[in-house]
Structure 1
Amino acid sequence: MAIDPGLRRLVLRTLLAAFPGTAPPRWAVDLVADGLAGHTLFGRNVVDPAQVAATTAALRQARPDVVVAIDEEGGDVTRLAHATGSPYPGNAALGAVGDVGLTRRVYQAIGTELAAAGVTVNLAPTVDVNSHDDNPIIGTRSFGADPVRVAAHAAAAVTGLQAAGVAACAKHFPGHGATVADSHYELPTVDVPLSVLRARDLPPFAAVIAADAKAVMTAHIRVPALTGAAPATFTSAVLVDLLRHEYGFTGAVVTDALEMKGAALAAGGVAPAAVRALAAGADLLCIGADVDEPALVEEVVAHVVAALDDGRLDRTRIEQAAGRAADLAAWTRAAAPDAAVATDLGYAAARRAVRVEGSLTDLGTPLVVQLVSSSTIAEGRVPWGLGPHVGGAEQLRVVATETDVPTLVERAAGRPIVLVGRHVHRLAEAPALIEALAAAHPVVLVEMGWPSPWRPAGVRAFVTTYGASHANGRAAAETLGLAG
């Protein structure tokens, strides 16, 4: 059955799609002309700032108020610098420095770069309180484990981004920091009373709302006290009763990507997930990265229209959502960005975040060994480590489960060994390898992930960077005296 063009346009106004390649295909531009709220850019869409500016200009030719969104968190999650690593430290490093003015300036610098490239909404900052050391998806994306500190830096980040004319989208409501599962792959559960959420997870969201954040992103997590068996994204008690009524948020509620298993599995697919999210109070739906043709968008539209026909959705709810999405787009068009800031800002900030426990004397020219670790979907395959920053030191990459102490000692040939890793405490067999190596040879460990309380026995020094961005890597190399 044919869909009424006016109704199709209304539904499209609630959707954020995506497209492959470094220039928008015809269908992606046509959808914008037909009313699609906008597109999210991913690393696959980015070559350099000039190319991104051309891409966003092409989308604006279809409709001037198109929303162009991106996940540019700095630190370990970057799209603009996915080929090299971000020139800015991420939230964990900024939280460790503890200077909210610096956080504001870093985010203003990120916003200035985004605005120059034509991006209007940054799906950042992450304001989750990382209260679990083994959280597999938040970690260094968080300002820390202290709600008060996270709240202060979250507000500063929002202020900085929006001073540059880019709308901030704080995430992931009502808080993804206590999970031990990744919502890209499953539906995590945070089984705590609402009183714990209010004390631990929600203060940063109150802070960003007070700072006038233009958007808030939902979490695909289950909080039984609020959501029952469903994810927060599908729960009006979270999006309406808590976020809007209790916390007074009036901006756009944006979903996390609906193809993530935490949403899609719970609903039976992306299109049914879209219906449930709209019914719960979401305004702008992220279809996700895997939109290679218009068929998925049209499927979502058809499901929403069917839900309007059978009474699962009310037209006024869709009109309300489309209106909030339009308000978000209107704000970004009207915002006047401030001037750019110093180009070395991110590197200077990363240097301030480095912490050294122990002694770095007599390192000389060590053997630098990077422990191979996987990347999360949020991070993508972004380069990390000391690689481009080390002068004459020999470097190699090893898998902890595929090497041993004699092999590394022989390769070192009398030189100290600098081991570099991410989330080393949970990397298979790495803790035992490091402690055995340190018992036989001089070792320094550089932790570029979320630092746990674990400290390996016998190492000369434990160096924490609170992130693995290009800026963090350079800061670590400088601290070790290895920068070339």
Structure 2
Amino acid sequence: MPHRSPDLARLAMTVLQPGFDGIEPPGWLRRALGEEGLGGTVLFARNLTGPAHTAELVARLRAENPAVVVAVDEEGGSVTRLQAARGSSWPGNRALGVGDDVERTRLVAREIGRLLAAADITLDYAPVADVNANPANPVIGVRSFGPDPELVSRHTVAWILGLQDAGVAACAKHFPGHGDTHTDSHHALPTVHASLELLAERDLPPFRAAVAAGVRAVMCGHLLVPALDPDNPATLSQRIMTGLLREEMGFDGMIVTDAIEMRAVAALHPPGEIAVRALLAGADAICAGISSPGGESVHELRDAIVDAVREGRLPEERLAEAASRVLALSRWYAASGAARARDGDGPGDEELGLRTALAAMRVVGTPPPLSGPLLVVDIAPRLSQAVEPGTPTGLIGAFSELMPDTTGYVVTADRPELPELSGPGGGGRPLVLVVHDAWRHPWVRDLLARAVTLRPDAIVVETGVPGEPTGAVYVTTNGISRASARAVAHWLTTDPEGAR
């Protein structure tokens, strides 16, 4: 094995952003931060138990390396890490796009920034800047502001400004655009079949707007875009990351990869080779959400990068440039301390999420205010792997808070049986049926049709991308969040006109 310079090894560690298991920083992570120069880490819901614990955990990480870039996926809506147990206090992007109030979008992002700043988190892997051009997209959907490039662009800018005004770095993703795919990159490599002209008109404008707005980071997507590079996914494409994003679009911030264990790229090369090729292509930080219990996988990434430099495959200048951009992001965060201190002085707007969710609700039909015992049936498909496992739509809990005698029942693909709806178990009680992207899941559509046939008075609540209205009343929330669930429950159990 070739001799490794300690400085070269530190450069390699600087560009890594691994995840870890457990609610305490493991010994290997503390050593990597304190002795080896690890430049970043990413937090998941598995690491977090509540606001006080999150702040304490980050403080322990910073005690080892004050400059560490602590990152998290906190999009609002269905993708939340800090609020995964109860659901996000703020609706996600599609709800913000449907409401189409850029000032409200800025305020929501600022509140998310305040949440992260309170925990001393550096970087939010958000906002999603993808244009949801393909409604059947299995991984973007309600995470996008919508299908219109201009709408997505203006809300992307508002979100970035709000978050960064709170002193937390934003990260526009998934460059050059994940919206027109029918494959989830967690499972396989998606291909975007679009011409250069269509990409320029549809997918790229939100990213151009993000760069112009001063976004501090951009995340590349694991996508094959033949019009830009027929041979390499964006993560490994110098044409896309250096030629397009750096040179043509003028972005000089930090480029971070999506998690390299995702099958879209993991099926192509070993992890170390992915890291080397991503750095060659122009990435500055390598996200590795899953790491081995003793940190061996992180050290294997480091060694692969160092070996590539020693072998002449990866110029040391490129590695040094990547490390310098990671450190520049850390310095920006340190310099933003005044903004975080200023925002931390005042109380947050606790009802902003509820007002935003109400503005995004759409209703077909006129329900009377619900009263008495309710039956709420959540027909729940498995959401995208970007969403924490077990994330609920929240409607059962939201109705139960207002009506403690509510009965909740969850139907899954593994247990696709409806409860009794029209007999002694269900008759006489108002019925609320909750679905998510029902039109995309045949088994959900079938159960929904059967339930509405048995109970034509049912209220149907669609929490995903809306389809054809069904039921006596059809409510669309345009996303999953605790705020959206509260909005529906309040609206349906009070005078609808008064509540809105």
Task: Give TM-score, length-normalised by structure 2.
Answer: 0.92
**Which range moved further: 307-316 or 395-404?**
395-404
Whether 1:423 aligns to 2:437 is yes
Query: Residue 401 of structure 1 contacts residue 429 of structure 1 at CA under 8 Å; is this kept in 2?
Result: no
User: Measured at CA, do residues 63 and 401 of structure 1 come closer, stay the same or move farther in structure 2, by a change above 3 Å?
Assistant: closer
**Which range moved further: 34-43 or 361-370?**
361-370
Cα displacement (A) at 1:475: 0.8
- 1:182 alignment counterpart: 184
- 1:447 alignment counterpart: 462
- 1:324-473 to structure 2, matched below 5 A, reads 324-335=325-336, 336-337=338-339, 338-339=342-343, 340=346, 341-361=348-368, 363-365=370-372, 366-381=374-389, 382-390=391-399, 391=403, 392-399=405-412, 407-410=420-423, 411-441=425-455, 442-452=457-467, 454-456=468-470, 459-473=471-485
Cα displacement (A) at 1:94: 0.8
Letter aligned with residue 307 of structure 1: A
Letter aligned with residue 384 of structure 2: T
1:371-406 CA deviation, whole Å, 9 max, x = no partner? 122132211122323122111332222247866789
- 1:159 alignment counterpart: 161
Letter aligned with residue 359 of structure 1: T
Letter aligned with residue 230 of structure 1: N
Letter aligned with residue 462 of structure 1: Y
For 1:29 and 1:100, locate their aligned partners in 2 and report how far apart those are by CA, in whole Å.
41
For 2:428 and 2:384, locate their aligned partners in 1 and report how far apart those are by CA, in whole Å.
36
- 1:222 alignment counterpart: 224
Cα displacement (A) at 1:60: 1.2
- 1:231-310 to structure 2, matched below 5 A, reads 231-266=233-268, 268-310=269-311
User: Measured at CA, do residues 253 and 402 of structure 1 come closer, stay the same or move farther in structure 2, by a change above 3 Å?
Assistant: closer
Cα displacement (A) at 1:112: 0.8
For 1:30 and 1:278, locate their aligned partners in 2 and report how far apart those are by CA, in whole Å.
24
- 2:138 alignment counterpart: 136
Q: Which runs of 5+ in 2 are unaligned?
A: 496-500
**Which range moved further: 273-282 or 399-408?**
399-408
Q: Secondary structure at 2:421's aligned position in 1?
A: helix
For 2:206 and 2:357, locate their aligned partners in 1 and report how far apart those are by CA, in whole Å.
23
Letter aligned with residue 395 of structure 1: G
Query: Residue 369 of structure 2 contacts residue 492 of structure 2 at CA under 8 Å; is this kept in 1?
Result: no
1:169 to 161, 167, 171: 171
Task: Give TM-score, length-normalised by structure 1.
Answer: 0.95
Query: Residue 419 of structure 1 contacts residue 446 of structure 1 at CA under 8 Å; is this kept in 2?
Result: yes
Letter aligned with residue 357 of structure 1: V
For 1:289 and 1:114, locate their aligned partners in 2 and report how far apart those are by CA, in whole Å.
22
1:131-162 CA deviation, whole Å, 9 max, x = no partner? 11111111111111111111000000000110
User: Measured at CA, do residues 477 and 303 of structure 1 come closer, stay the same or move farther in structure 2, by a change above 3 Å?
Assistant: same
**Which range moved further: 136-145 or 422-431?**
422-431
Q: Secondary structure at 1:40's aligned position in 2?
A: strand
User: Measured at CA, do residues 293 and 437 of structure 1 come closer, stay the same or move farther in structure 2, by a change above 3 Å?
Assistant: same
For 1:260 and 1:404, locate their aligned partners in 2 and report how far apart those are by CA, in whole Å.
33
- 1:96-115 to structure 2, matched below 5 A, reads 96-115=98-117
Q: Secondary structure at 1:47's aligned position in 2?
A: coil
User: Measured at CA, do residues 285 and 404 of structure 1 come closer, stay the same or move farther in structure 2, by a change above 3 Å?
Assistant: closer
Query: Residue 400 of structure 1 contacts residue 428 of structure 1 at CA under 8 Å; is this kept in 2?
Result: no
Q: What is the percent sequence identity of the aligned residues?
A: 43
User: Measured at CA, do residues 416 and 36 of structure 1 come closer, stay the same or move farther in structure 2, by a change above 3 Å?
Assistant: same
Cα displacement (A) at 1:348: 1.9
- 2:312 alignment counterpart: 311
User: Measured at CA, do residues 362 and 285 of structure 1 come closer, stay the same or move farther in structure 2, by a change above 3 Å?
Assistant: closer
User: Measured at CA, do residues 475 and 254 of structure 1 come closer, stay the same or move farther in structure 2, by a change above 3 Å?
Assistant: same
For 1:362 and 1:342, locate their aligned partners in 2 and report how far apart those are by CA, in whole Å.
27
1:336-364 CA deviation, whole Å, 9 max, x = no partner? 32425312211221122111011212654
Cα displacement (A) at 1:482: 7.0
Query: Residue 291 of structure 2 contacts residue 298 of structure 2 at CA under 8 Å; is this kept in 1?
Result: no
Cα displacement (A) at 1:64: 1.4
Letter aligned with residue 284 of structure 1: A
User: Measured at CA, do residues 291 and 472 of structure 1 come closer, stay the same or move farther in structure 2, by a change above 3 Å?
Assistant: farther
Q: Which runs of 5+ in 1 are unaligned?
A: none
Q: Secondary structure at 2:355's aligned position in 1?
A: helix
For 1:210 and 1:92, locate their aligned partners in 2 and report how far apart those are by CA, in whole Å.
22
For 1:293 and 1:227, locate their aligned partners in 2 and report how far apart those are by CA, in whole Å.
37
